[in-house]
């Protein structure tokens, strides 16, 4: 038996946002159907080289594939080694016999599946005629979220503010040429989010940026940045007047944006309306009217990697892409 090897160039060729949105939607449904087995994440820190490795492992009973993703972050890589800061590999094992059927670069997949998460949330939580997005941050996720939203909503304008101001111009150029949407650079976060239909927060911040009074009725907020204890981008008061939806309650109350209003006693876990998979499965409702403020808090799950990588593997086999190697 052989193992299919897909390098970064091949994964890039096979990866696209519409497919990833379908994969992530399936992942969320599977999670709430109890079809996903996801052991705890394990990590190693290598402080002497300013690096760390996270290992995410998950089994999907619907694809019958075990996926193992190792993702490293080494912050001195560009300067010291001319390597990217983030590197990842994903290996897929046949759940029926444990054979490693595919090994692929995983560096791009996390970005796509996290972007797709916001897109999936917009499907059930944003107003259908949402035309403007306010984006906080101008890094990779600030791009991915807008790319995904463009697949779901009739977007016409992006307003962006980043704490790293010098990133903004490049962001404008890239998004405008890639998506053909106008991008407005803002001097203040308030200007970026006020009056927009959708707000995306995608920074590594640890203090509230988006204030409660800037958020109009009907807004959908996609909270992406917070994925660890101590991270924060939203004024926790927003939660008291919003319909709160998360990817995974257990994770979000500890590591997502939701940790903050809970810590401050503004909400309790019971105020969380749903996990998004419940809405996608139809067991809970999504947006009910044009006045609701909705928040989607995403912390990321192994099953998203699993489903996205499975789809890439399947496409690669169909198209004859990749190299067959003998490993075992």
Q: What are phi and psi of 83, to 5 degrees?
A: -120, 155
Q: Which of 18, 33, 39, 169 binds a second copy (CB under 8 A)?
A: 39
Q: Which of 70, 167, 211, 315 binds a second copy (CB under 8 A)?
A: 70
Minimum CB distance to a second copy smaller for 103 or for 215: 103
For the bound state, the minimum distance from the C-beta of residue 89 to a second copy, rounded and expressed in Å, comes to: 6
Pairing label, strands 242-246, 293-297: parallel
State the number of binding residues for a second copy (CB under 8 A).
51
By C-alpha distance, which of 199, 226, 203 is closest to 211?
199
Minimum CB distance to a second copy smaller for 36 or for 122: 36
Q: Is 72 in the site for a second copy (CB under 8 A)?
A: yes
For the bound state, the minimum distance from the C-beta of residue 240 to a second copy, rounded and expressed in Å, comes to: 37
Find out whether 230 and 263 touch, Cβ atoms under 8 Å.
no
For the bound state, the minimum distance from the C-beta of residue 180 to a second copy, rounded and expressed in Å, comes to: 31
Active site residue 270: no
Q: Which of 12, 19, 22, 51 binds a second copy (CB under 8 A)?
A: 51
Q: Is 323 in the site for a second copy (CB under 8 A)?
A: yes
Question: What does the H/E/C string look like for 49-63?
Answer: HCEEEEEEEEEECCC
Determine the Cα angle at 287 with ends 222 and 192, to 5°.
Answer: 35
Q: Is 97 helix (H, G, I), strand (E, B) or coil?
A: coil
Q: Is 319 in the site for a second copy (CB under 8 A)?
A: no
**In the window 87-106, what residues touch a second copy (CB under 8 A)?**
87, 89, 91, 93, 95-100, 103-105
First to last CA, the chain: 8
Find out whether 55 and 70 touch, Cβ atoms under 8 Å.
yes
Q: Which residues contact 318 (CB under 8 A, 6 or more apart)?
A: none
Classify residue 255 by its DSSP letter: H
Q: Which of 33, 42, 263, 291 binds a second copy (CB under 8 A)?
A: 42
Q: Is 18 in the site for a second copy (CB under 8 A)?
A: no
For the bound state, the minimum distance from the C-beta of residue 297 to a second copy, rounded and expressed in Å, comes to: 25
Q: Which of 4, 17, 68, 223 binds a second copy (CB under 8 A)?
A: 68
By C-alpha distance, which of 109, 199, 198 is closest to 154?
198
Q: Which residues contact 104 (CB under 8 A, 6 or more apart)?
A: 5, 6, 7, 10, 11, 89, 90, 91, 92, 309, 312, 313
Classify residue 209 by its DSSP letter: E
Pairing label, strands 86-94, 100-105: antiparallel
Taking CB under 8 A as the binding criterion, the range among 65-73, 143-151, 192-200, 289-297 that sits at the site for a second copy is 65-73
Say which of 56, 69, 150, 159 is annotated catalytic: 69
Q: Which residues bind a second copy (CB under 8 A)?
A: 1, 5, 7-9, 37, 39-40, 42-46, 48-49, 51, 53, 55, 57-59, 61, 66, 68, 70, 72-74, 77, 80-81, 83, 87, 89, 91, 93, 95-100, 103-105, 107, 323, 325-328
Among all residues, which ones are annotated catalytic? 69
């Amino acid at each position: 038996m052989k193992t299919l090897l897909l390098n970064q160039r091949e994964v890039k060729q096979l990866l696209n946002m519409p497919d990833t949105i379908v994969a992530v939607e399936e992942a969320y449904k599977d999670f709430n159907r109890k079809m996903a087995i996801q052991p705890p994440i394990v990590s190693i820190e290598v402080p002497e080289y300013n690096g760390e490795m996270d290992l995410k492992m998950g089994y999907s009973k619907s694809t019958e594939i075990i996926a193992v993703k190792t993702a490293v972050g080494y912050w001195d890589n560009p300067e010291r080694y001319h390597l990217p800061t983030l590197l990842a590999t994903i290996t897929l094992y046949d759940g029926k016999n444990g054979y490693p059927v595919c090994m692929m670069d995983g560096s791009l997949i996390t970005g796509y599946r996290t972007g797709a998460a916001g897109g999936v949330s917009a499907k059930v939580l944003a107003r259908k005629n949402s035309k403007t997005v306010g984006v906080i941050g101008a890094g990779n996720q600030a791009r991915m979220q807008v790319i995904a939203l463009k697949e779901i909503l009739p977007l016409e304008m992006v307003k962006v503010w980043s704490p790293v101001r010098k990133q903004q111009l490049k962001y404008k150029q890239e998004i405008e040429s890639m998506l053909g949407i106008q991008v407005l650079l803002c001097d203040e976060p308030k200007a970026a989010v006020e009056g927009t239909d959708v707000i995306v927060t995608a920074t590594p911040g640890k203090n509230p940026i988006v204030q409660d009074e800037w958020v109009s009725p009907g807004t959908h907020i996609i909270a992406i940045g917070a994925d660890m204890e101590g991270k924060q981008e939203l004024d926790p008061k927003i939660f008291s007047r919003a319909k709160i939806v998360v990817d995974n309650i257990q994770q979000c109350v500890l590591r997502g944006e939701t940790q903050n209003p809970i810590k401050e006693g503004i909400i309790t876990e019971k105020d969380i309306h749903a996990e998004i998979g419940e809405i996608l499965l139809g067991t809970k409702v999504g947006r009910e009217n044009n006045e609701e403020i909705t928040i989607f808090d995403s912390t990321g799950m192994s099953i998203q990697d699993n489903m996205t990588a499975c789809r890439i593997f399947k496409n690669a086999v169909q198209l004859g892409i990749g190299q067959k190697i003998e490993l075992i």
